[in-house]
Amino acid sequence: MSLLTWSSVFSVGVKDIDDQHKKLVDLANQLNDAMRAGQGKDVLGKVLNELVDYTVYHFGFEEKLMDKHQYPNQAAHKEEHKKLVGEVAAFKGKFDKGDAALTSEIMNFLRDWLTKHILQTDKLFGKDLNAKGVH
Ligand SMILES: [Fe+2]
Ligand SMILES: [Fe+2]
Protein backbone atom coordinates (compact mmCIF):
# COMPACT_ATOMS: atom_id res chain seq x y z
CA MET A 1 0.00 0.00 0.00
CA SER A 2 1.21 3.45 -0.91
CA LEU A 3 2.12 5.94 1.78
CA LEU A 4 0.60 8.73 -0.27
CA THR A 5 -1.38 8.75 -3.52
CA TRP A 6 -1.23 11.68 -5.88
CA SER A 7 -4.55 13.13 -7.04
CA SER A 8 -5.65 16.40 -8.62
CA VAL A 9 -6.50 17.66 -5.11
CA PHE A 10 -2.75 18.21 -4.73
CA SER A 11 -2.41 20.33 -7.85
CA VAL A 12 -1.05 23.82 -7.16
CA GLY A 13 -1.82 24.97 -10.71
CA VAL A 14 1.80 25.15 -11.90
CA LYS A 15 2.95 22.22 -14.04
CA ASP A 16 6.65 22.12 -13.10
CA ILE A 17 5.81 22.21 -9.39
CA ASP A 18 3.11 19.54 -9.76
CA ASP A 19 5.54 17.29 -11.66
CA GLN A 20 8.15 17.69 -8.93
CA HIS A 21 5.59 16.95 -6.21
CA LYS A 22 4.60 13.75 -8.07
CA LYS A 23 8.25 12.71 -8.07
CA LEU A 24 8.56 13.50 -4.34
CA VAL A 25 5.46 11.40 -3.61
CA ASP A 26 6.92 8.61 -5.73
CA LEU A 27 10.24 8.69 -3.83
CA ALA A 28 8.47 8.77 -0.45
CA ASN A 29 6.43 5.73 -1.55
CA GLN A 30 9.60 3.94 -2.68
CA LEU A 31 11.22 4.60 0.68
CA ASN A 32 8.12 3.41 2.53
CA ASP A 33 7.92 0.24 0.42
CA ALA A 34 11.61 -0.49 1.01
CA MET A 35 11.16 0.01 4.76
CA ARG A 36 8.10 -2.21 4.91
CA ALA A 37 9.84 -4.90 2.87
CA GLY A 38 12.55 -4.94 5.54
CA GLN A 39 15.32 -3.82 3.19
CA GLY A 40 18.74 -3.28 4.71
CA LYS A 41 20.48 -0.04 5.56
CA ASP A 42 22.25 0.12 2.18
CA VAL A 43 19.05 0.07 0.13
CA LEU A 44 17.18 2.36 2.52
CA GLY A 45 20.13 4.75 2.64
CA LYS A 46 20.24 4.96 -1.15
CA VAL A 47 16.53 5.81 -1.49
CA LEU A 48 16.75 8.18 1.48
CA ASN A 49 19.62 10.02 -0.22
CA GLU A 50 17.61 10.34 -3.42
CA LEU A 51 14.63 11.69 -1.51
CA VAL A 52 16.75 14.20 0.43
CA ASP A 53 18.60 15.38 -2.70
CA TYR A 54 15.39 15.77 -4.69
CA THR A 55 13.71 17.62 -1.82
CA VAL A 56 16.59 20.10 -1.66
CA TYR A 57 16.44 20.54 -5.45
CA HIS A 58 12.66 21.05 -5.36
CA PHE A 59 12.78 23.61 -2.52
CA GLY A 60 15.49 25.49 -4.41
CA PHE A 61 13.35 25.48 -7.56
CA GLU A 62 10.36 26.95 -5.70
CA GLU A 63 12.52 29.53 -3.92
CA LYS A 64 14.05 30.74 -7.20
CA LEU A 65 10.51 31.24 -8.54
CA MET A 66 9.60 33.18 -5.36
CA ASP A 67 12.57 35.50 -5.90
CA LYS A 68 11.86 35.90 -9.60
CA HIS A 69 8.19 36.80 -9.06
CA GLN A 70 8.70 38.70 -5.80
CA TYR A 71 6.35 36.44 -3.88
CA PRO A 72 5.05 38.39 -0.84
CA ASN A 73 4.90 35.37 1.54
CA GLN A 74 8.34 34.05 0.67
CA ALA A 75 9.93 34.50 4.10
CA ALA A 76 7.42 32.20 5.85
CA HIS A 77 7.44 29.69 2.99
CA LYS A 78 11.25 29.49 2.91
CA GLU A 79 11.28 29.09 6.69
CA GLU A 80 9.07 25.97 6.41
CA HIS A 81 11.47 24.52 3.84
CA LYS A 82 14.48 25.32 6.00
CA LYS A 83 12.96 23.72 9.09
CA LEU A 84 12.19 20.45 7.28
CA VAL A 85 15.64 20.29 5.66
CA GLY A 86 17.20 20.77 9.11
CA GLU A 87 15.09 18.00 10.63
CA VAL A 88 15.75 15.62 7.74
CA ALA A 89 19.50 16.34 7.83
CA ALA A 90 19.56 15.61 11.57
CA PHE A 91 17.76 12.31 11.02
CA LYS A 92 20.01 11.37 8.09
CA GLY A 93 23.08 12.06 10.21
CA LYS A 94 21.83 9.65 12.88
CA PHE A 95 20.69 7.08 10.30
CA ASP A 96 24.09 7.09 8.56
CA LYS A 97 25.86 6.55 11.89
CA GLY A 98 23.50 3.69 12.74
CA ASP A 99 21.96 5.63 15.65
CA ALA A 100 18.46 5.83 14.16
CA ALA A 101 16.26 3.52 12.12
CA LEU A 102 13.63 4.37 9.57
CA THR A 103 10.24 3.75 11.18
CA SER A 104 6.61 4.10 10.17
CA GLU A 105 6.40 7.09 12.55
CA ILE A 106 9.06 8.87 10.51
CA MET A 107 7.35 7.98 7.22
CA ASN A 108 4.00 9.20 8.60
CA PHE A 109 5.63 12.45 9.73
CA LEU A 110 6.99 12.90 6.20
CA ARG A 111 3.60 12.10 4.63
CA ASP A 112 1.78 14.54 6.91
CA TRP A 113 4.37 17.27 6.35
CA LEU A 114 4.21 16.88 2.55
CA THR A 115 0.42 16.82 2.52
CA LYS A 116 0.04 19.90 4.71
CA HIS A 117 2.81 21.85 2.97
CA ILE A 118 1.49 21.16 -0.53
CA LEU A 119 -2.18 21.74 0.31
CA GLN A 120 -1.61 24.94 2.26
CA THR A 121 1.75 26.59 1.66
CA ASP A 122 2.47 25.55 -1.94
CA LYS A 123 -1.13 26.12 -3.04
CA LEU A 124 -1.01 29.68 -1.73
CA PHE A 125 2.18 30.20 -3.74
CA GLY A 126 0.61 28.57 -6.81
CA LYS A 127 -2.33 30.99 -6.65
CA ASP A 128 0.04 33.95 -6.61
CA LEU A 129 1.97 32.56 -9.59
CA ASN A 130 -1.26 31.90 -11.50
CA ALA A 131 -2.33 35.49 -10.91
CA LYS A 132 1.01 36.55 -12.43
CA GLY A 133 0.40 34.39 -15.49
CA VAL A 134 2.59 31.43 -14.48
CA HIS A 135 0.94 28.03 -14.90
FE1 LIG B 1 7.16 24.66 -0.78
FE1 LIG C 1 6.65 22.06 -2.97
**What tens digit of pLDDT does each residue of 33-65 get?**
999 999 999 999 999 999 999 999 999 999 999
Q: How far, in Å, is the centroid of ligand 2 from the Cα of 62?
A: 7
Q: What is the pLDDT of residues 17-31, one digit of tens each?
A: 999 999 999 999 999
List the one residue out of 3, 47, 51, 19 whose CA is nearest residue 122. 19
Average model confidence (pLDDT) for the chain? 97
| Mean pLDDT within 66-87 | 98
Instruction: Look at residue 100 in the predicted model and tell me its pLDDT.
Output: 96
Whether pLDDT at 124 is above 90: yes
Does residue 1 surpass a pLDDT of 90? Answer: no
Q: 59 C-alpha to center of ligand 1: Å?
A: 6
Q: Tell me: domain 13-130, CATH 1.20.120.50, correct?
A: yes
Q: Would the pTM count as exceeding 0.85?
A: yes
Compute the Cα dihedral for 106, 55, 115, 23 and give only its sign. negative
**How many angstroms is it from 91 CA to the middle of ligand 1?**
20
- Kindly give the distance from the C-alpha atom of residue 125 to the centroid of ligand 1, in angstroms, as a whole number: 8
